[in-house]
Chain A
Amino acid sequence: MAATLLPEDLPLDAHKRTHSAETKRYGFFPGCVAKESCKELFNSTMLLADRLGIELIELTAASCCGASVVNDVNRDVARVLNARTYAQAEALGLDDVITICSTCTGHMRAANKELLESEERMDHANAILSKFGAKYQGNVTVRHLLWLLIDDIGLDNLRSMVVRPLNGLRVAPFYGCHIIRPESVNGWESARNPHSLEDLVEAIGGEPVDYAGKTRCCGFHIQLEKDNTAANMVGQNMRMAKDRGAEAVITPCPLCHLALDGYQADSAARWGRTDLPTFHLPQLVAFALGVAPEKLGLNKHLIDPRTILVERELIA
């Protein structure tokens, strides 16, 4: 019996792969969740990078960013753990570090800000790093893949690379708190009225859906504290999106993804059924750029996003 063949990726003209002559290299910090329960995020990020013609070099010896939780037991540990990661990035010549998680983005940037704004804190971190011969010089910047797509690739460029436009699919952006708040740490765009995800959805042929829940919290961090409260936060936001006509959700954060994908069923009693399929940011962009959908791990989601893609005749 012949082996089942994966559908081929849609062809992309070689000259459209990248807008720069040489391949751009970035340090890549995938974070814990993309390596554990959301492996489909990691895989689709790598596939997207290949399409974009950029090289994401994983910082394999990096630790967890602190996940906003270790701050609860110690004031300094997240800062020093991230200083160690930055020292590794610098040693590899990869000062431009890219993340794919809102929480990693926010907390790594917060740590970097603390280090760069205070010589005392930098010295304190480096005194500990020196125990194993490392030193952070202060040259690293941390950005989310979303920012890279818009600043480095560019929306026009991205638009020209689309080979499978979303055909007006109504996509609700869900930012996730830590990529926008606090503004003093992120500040790449307005935290109260961000529009980068909307711009991106529009560029790949979808129709962005505006709703008040897009900058609100998914409740991920209190799922284990009080699951009913966390589920209600998901339900409240997804109800707003659904009422505005959303057919799907896109999020730059795997923690939000776990919450939105996992808890809509549990919130139905109070908020009614919403069942909005949720895409990881790179999944949907890679799809539009022609990566074969079978490679994107869409089958790993609890609310199967393939249903809406079939309905909108985007896949067979």
Chain B
Amino acid sequence: MAQVKLDIFRFDEAVDAVPHRDVVTVDVPETTTVLDALETAKADVDGSISFRRSCRSAICGSCSMNINGVTGLACKTPCNTVMDDVGTIKIDPMPNFQPMKDLVVHMDPFWDKYARLKPYLQPADADSAHERERRVSPDDMRKLVDVANCIMCATCYALCPVVSVDPAFAGPAAIAYAYRFIEDVRDDKRKERLAQINEDYLWLCAHCYACSYCPKHVDPNDRIIDVKRATVKDRVMMNERGPRHALVVSKTIKQTGMLAETEVIQGTIGRFNVRGLLKVAPLGLRMAAKGKMPPPFLRPIPKVDEVRTIFDALEVPVS
């Protein structure tokens, strides 16, 4: 048995102006999960401690919270992996959400972003009374199996640094779920779905891999890249900065072997987008004043033909 000191964020939006903290000590086996320690605290010490939970087995996705600064499922986190030398575990609600009561947060922005995706199958014959099941080959289904494991616990959304400063971003979970329908051969709204997720700032993903901590190994980081590739493949919204950026990077590597910074900046913003170029001009001028400008043109690397051979063999798009 171990003495676990749960240092809990306490707040009730109905009565409290500011949050405070309570330390609740419980005696539990040290391999007990943080969720079970919280349950013990609620049952034996303070019945008013509020948190969401249901299955206790990493299936329902209710109990994601911030445990010693790390967001994850309380039911999947044994106390002895997180408590400090004196047995303290600091517990806070998920970041990137408005707290409601103690560890319970307002999930609405997260669900709203799901709802915008129309997260249900939209087959071509949706209105007819189809006689048979819609069959999917094992290969087609394999692409969807991992992402279908998403339990919507919002851990990835809480970890996302882009969401934390820009609530317009759809966030990792919604994009991964968009992928689940975009790549479903039974679905008939691929183009519409791609356009929708592009409008919800697909390309605002900062490639940071914070969402690689998915407790169900959905790995939204990889699914986001899949959706971007589908966007480029289907030529959806190709005049936006995201696809233009990816393609001009690809183009400069094929031409020079290097990522040519100057051309990438111009190509992404648009060579004739005077307003856009003026917006980056102050930073450019400050850098130029320090002698920190990338060269306007790059000399190709030695044997750049080999790089071009690779691009051609793989039919890599460059425009």
Contacts from A to B (Cβ < 8 Å): 32-33, 35-38, 60-64, 66-77, 80-81, 84, 106, 128, 131-132, 134, 177-178, 181-184, 192, 212, 216-217, 219-222, 224-227, 229-230, 232-233, 236, 262-263, 266, 299-302
Whether B161 pairs with A70 at a CB distance below 8 angstroms is: no
Whether B209 pairs with A32 at a CB distance below 8 angstroms is: no
B309 at the interface (CB under 8 A from A): yes
Cα A74 to Cα B292 in complex, Å, equals 31
Interface centre among A60, A178, A229 (most CB of B within 10 A): A229
Cα A32 to Cα B294 in complex, Å, equals 10
Contact A64/B259 with A73-B246, A76-B314, A77-B310 known, Cβ cut-off 8 Å? yes
B138 at the interface (CB under 8 A from A): no
Cα A241 to Cα B246 in complex, Å, equals 32
Beyond A32-B259, A67-B249, A182-B209, list 7 extra A-B contacts (CB 8 Å): A60-B302, A63-B257, A63-B301, A106-B209, A132-B309, A219-B206, A224-B280
Contact A74/B259 with A37-B293, A229-B204 known, Cβ cut-off 8 Å? no
B residues less than 8 Å from A77 (CB atoms): 250, 310-311, 314, 316
B residues less than 8 Å from A69 (CB atoms): 245-246, 249-250, 259
B residues less than 8 Å from A66 (CB atoms): 253
Whether A181 pairs with B259 at a CB distance below 8 angstroms is: no
Whether A70 pairs with B225 at a CB distance below 8 angstroms is: no
Contact A178/B162 with A36-B261, A131-B309 known, Cβ cut-off 8 Å? no
Please choose the segment from B11-19, B27-35, B40-48, B282-290 that sits at the chain A interface, where 4 or more of its residues have CB less than 8 A away. B282-290
Contact A300/B291 with A70-B253, A77-B311 known, Cβ cut-off 8 Å? yes
Cα A68 to Cα B286 in complex, Å, equals 27
A residues less than 8 Å from B311 (CB atoms): 77
Cα A61 to Cα B304 in complex, Å, equals 8
Whether A216 pairs with B161 at a CB distance below 8 angstroms is: yes
The residue in chain B whose Cβ has the minimal distance to the Cβ of A66 is B253
Whether A262 pairs with B283 at a CB distance below 8 angstroms is: yes
A residues less than 8 Å from B161 (CB atoms): 216-217, 219, 233, 236
> What distance in Å separates the Cβ of B242 from its nearest Cβ neighbour in chain A?
6
B residues less than 8 Å from A236 (CB atoms): 161, 164-165
Interface residues as binary, B259-277 with A (CB distance below 8 Å gives 1, 0 otherwise) = 1110011001100000000
Whether A302 pairs with B290 at a CB distance below 8 angstroms is: yes
Whether B261 pairs with A37 at a CB distance below 8 angstroms is: yes
The residue in chain A whose Cβ has the minimal distance to the Cβ of B265 is A224
Cα A200 to Cα B294 in complex, Å, equals 30
> What distance in Å separates the Cβ of A311 from its nearest Cβ neighbour in chain B?
20
Cα A70 to Cα B245 in complex, Å, equals 10
B residues less than 8 Å from A134 (CB atoms): 306
> What distance in Å separates the Cβ of A92 from its nearest Cβ neighbour in chain B?
13
Cα A225 to Cα B306 in complex, Å, equals 31
A residues less than 8 Å from B180 (CB atoms): none
Contact A37/B294 with A63-B253, A84-B307, A128-B309 known, Cβ cut-off 8 Å? yes
> What distance in Å separates the Cβ of A76 from its nearest Cβ neighbour in chain B?
5
A residues less than 8 Å from B201 (CB atoms): 226
Cα A217 to Cα B232 in complex, Å, equals 25
B278 at the interface (CB under 8 A from A): no
Whether B301 pairs with A62 at a CB distance below 8 angstroms is: yes
**Residue of A37, A224, A233 touching B287 (CB-CB under 8 A):** A37
Cα A36 to Cα B309 in complex, Å, equals 25
Contact A221/B207 with A132-B303, A183-B212, A232-B166 known, Cβ cut-off 8 Å? yes
Cα A68 to Cα B212 in complex, Å, equals 15
**Residue of B209, B268, B290, B316 touching A73 (CB-CB under 8 A):** B316
B residues less than 8 Å from A184 (CB atoms): 212
Whether B250 pairs with A181 at a CB distance below 8 angstroms is: no
Whether A64 pairs with B253 at a CB distance below 8 angstroms is: yes
> What distance in Å separates the Cβ of B278 from its nearest Cβ neighbour in chain A?
12
Whether B306 pairs with A70 at a CB distance below 8 angstroms is: no
Whether A64 pairs with B257 at a CB distance below 8 angstroms is: yes
Interface residues as binary, B230-246 with A (CB distance below 8 Å gives 1, 0 otherwise) = 00100000000110011
B129 at the interface (CB under 8 A from A): no
5 A-B residue pairings within 8 Å (CB atoms): A32-B261, A67-B259, A69-B245, A177-B208, A233-B162
Whether B305 pairs with A132 at a CB distance below 8 angstroms is: yes
